[in-house]
């Protein structure tokens, strides 16, 4: 790979009380969304959100299906994540995009960028769960020259991506992602394993292996500027966009080709990824053992 290109490619992160829940739900249905006064659940008495989350106002709304309240933005207080970016065949990835205005961002002509991210959410507004994101960097409605969009993303700490698949480990995480955001979520088996020098995430569904991402445990430091991701989805045939902000308390990234390894399984999703001609070595690998995330609600593209 061209070392000049590689040098700049360094991107890539409560439920209401039982006694009053019904009264609060009726109030919310009657009066609309009200300000959130969240109660910390048992086991989370030591939760200490940083200034990053304290500076964001949340609203709450009823989730009758789960007999609880929901919050927007959704806060993720204590997480571990790892991300690896690989080049892929632009022509083949384009066939997976649902909207012609989604323009793939290319690293070089003919090669776009596929991003595999694994998340371990230990404490969130919708309880602990794991998640794997399979996404492609895009520019909505605008074409860009190869590498130019990536440079801008680096400068702004902001990247746009179409989320192709987003398996999770709990039903509430699946339901909220599908019903509110239009994300292609499904419940799957997602397990993290750790050794002294590596962390691995294995994704499977219906007893079939989809993928395993293994990355090195890197030496970390705080990341001063939050990362912003504009996550695109499609709901009822219309494109939506949601902002995701990540504040990494511990963060590291590597451009070394041996920093991460992706193994694809024989599940249909794994076979589809294999057909995209993914590069064997990553462009970049990110490791963040401790971070906070704020997932804002979805919005129509007109509301930008």
For each of the chain's 304 residues, which pLDDT tens digit applies? Answer: 444 444 434 433 333 333 344 443 343 333 333 333 344 444 444 677 889 999 999 999 999 999 999 999 999 999 999 999 999 999 999 999 999 999 999 999 999 999 999 999 999 999 999 999 999 999 998 777 777 887 787 778 889 999 999 999 999 999 999 999 999 999 999 999 999 899 999 999 999 999 999 999 999 999 989 999 999 999 999 999 999 999 999 999 999 999 999 999 999 999 999 999 999 999 999 999 999 999 999 999 878 6
Task: From 282, 287, 285, select the one nearest 219 (Cα to Cα).
Answer: 287
Q: Tell me how far apart the alpha carbons of residues 104 and 116 are, in angstroms, rounded to a whole number.
A: 16
- Number of C-beta neighbours around residue 43 at 10 A: 8
- Angle (CA) 295-299-304 rounded to 5° is 105
Claim: this prediction has a pTM higher than 0.95: no
Task: From 303, 151, 294, select the one nearest 228 (Cα to Cα).
Answer: 294
For the chain, the maximum distance between any two Cα atoms, rounded to a whole number of angstroms, is 62
Residues forming beta bridges with residue 139, ordered by sequence position: 103
Peptide bond into 299 cis (omega under 30): no
């Amino acid at each position: 790979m061209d070392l000049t290109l590689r040098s700049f490619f360094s991107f890539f992160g409560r439920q209401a009380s039982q006694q009053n829940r019904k009264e609060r739900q009726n109030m919310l249905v009657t009066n609309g969304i009200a300000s959130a006064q969240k109660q910390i659940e048992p086991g989370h008495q030591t939760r200490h959100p940083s200034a990053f989350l304290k500076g964001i106002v949340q609203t709450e709304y009823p989730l009758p299906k789960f007999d609880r309240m929901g919050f927007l933005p959704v806060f993720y207080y204590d997480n571990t994540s790892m991300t690896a970016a690989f080049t892929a065949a632009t022509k083949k990835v384009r066939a997976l995009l649902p909207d012609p205005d989604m323009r793939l961002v290319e690293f070089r002509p003919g090669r776009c960028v596929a991003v595999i991210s694994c998340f371990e959410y230990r404490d969130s507004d919708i309880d602990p769960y794991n998640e794997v994101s399979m996404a492609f960097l895009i520019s909505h409605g605008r074409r860009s020259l190869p590498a130019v969009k990536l440079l801008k993303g680096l400068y702004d700490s902001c990247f746009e991506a179409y989320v192709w698949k987003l398996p999770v480990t709990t039903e509430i995480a699946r339901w909220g992602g599908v019903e509110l955001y239009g994300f292609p979520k499904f419940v799957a088996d997602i397990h993290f394993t750790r050794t002294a020098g590596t962390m691995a995430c294995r994704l499977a569904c219906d007893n079939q292996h989809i993928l395993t991402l293994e990355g090195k445990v890197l030496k970390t430091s705080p990341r001063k500027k939050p990362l912003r991701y504009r996550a695109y989805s499609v709901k009822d045939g219309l494109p939506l966009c949601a902002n995701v902000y990540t504040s990494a308390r511990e963060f590291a990234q590597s451009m070394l080709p041996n920093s991460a390894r992706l193994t694809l399984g024989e599940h249909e999703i794994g076979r589809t990824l294999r057909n995209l001609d993914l590069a064997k070595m990553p462009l970049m690998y990110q490791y963040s053992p401790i971070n906070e995330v704020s997932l804002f609600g979805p919005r129509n593209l007109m509301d930008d």
